[in-house]
Structure 1
């Protein structure tokens, strides 16, 4: 599978990974504010700032990306535990930004993660060039890193650090 396409200025990035861990554990790790903060190097500053995102939550992130100060406000616009999570940008540098996280339980008890991320930038042709040559490779690296990190955490005792015993751990 090619990992990205572009149509009419909208870039679609796709990635798939199999994790040898239960689907609910993988879903909760996907929803973990602490894990996302570590992955992105950005801090949640308002809205839901800790724990696990829930349907309708908003999170305002501040930090640095590609050497620039960045802010991004996300809405949890789709949530079906333990198979689907969607976050949609409400404000930030992108014209549009939406990230779908699909999880499927496999017959052997492992979990297949499939992410699809769609974004576009303002500024016409200049925005398309920045998206194609700078942002697409950068976001794909972040997605790969996220999947590898999630797999490492979900398949070792490290998951216990993120999923505390309060009814949201397994």
Structure 2
């Protein structure tokens, strides 16, 4: 199965980064270009253990609906979400957080499998892995930017209302 691994260094406390990574509100900001909406489950605030969110977004010129569930959580060091239903055959996204020299390092491990057998594997090779890497890199850049400036308080306040 294809695996994407990213490391993002953030000059912010680990708990702030952990919470921003599971913020539905921040996720919507980071995926604005896809028209993403949270349409069911936890649709605002911080998603927690055993909670689901259903997303609607346009990818590859087609509206997609995907539901994921937080299946593991050890605050503020780790959480994992997995696809419950959607366009992938399966995916698991692991989020690790640790401190190095006063900074938080966020490590993403995204493992996925496409449907459609050999055609899905070919699509992974040609397009999907690069597309998902770009999407996750962009999301992490937004988390980093918000965590390092005063905007994180605005997201936090929206998440607690």
Question: Same-fold call, TM > 0.5?
Answer: yes
CA-to-aligned-CA distance 1:136-168 (integer Å, 9 cap, x gap): 1111101111121111111111111111288x7
Distance in 2 (CA, whole Å) between partners of 1:125 and 1:55 is 34
- Number of aligned residue pairs: 157
Call closer, same or farther: CA 1:128–1:105 in 2, change over 3 Å.
same
Matched, 1:16 2:7: yes
Equivalent in the alignment of 2:135: 142
Equivalent in the alignment of 1:52: 46
Equivalent in the alignment of 2:114: 121
How far residue 11 of structure 1 moved from its aligned partner, in angstroms, is 0.6
Pairwise CA RMSD of aligned residues? Answer: 1.4
Matched, 1:43 2:37: yes
Equivalent in the alignment of 1:153: 146
TM superposition score normalised by structure 1: 0.88
Distance in 2 (CA, whole Å) between partners of 1:99 and 1:73 is 13
Are the equivalent residues in 1 in contact too, given 2:45–2:158 (CA < 8 A)?
Answer: no
Distance in 1 (CA, whole Å) between partners of 2:91 and 2:158 is 33
Equivalent in the alignment of 2:64: 70
Q: Structure 2: any 5+ residue segments left out of the alignment?
A: none
How far residue 32 of structure 1 moved from its aligned partner, in angstroms, is 0.4
How far residue 93 of structure 1 moved from its aligned partner, in angstroms, is 0.6
TM superposition score normalised by structure 2: 0.93
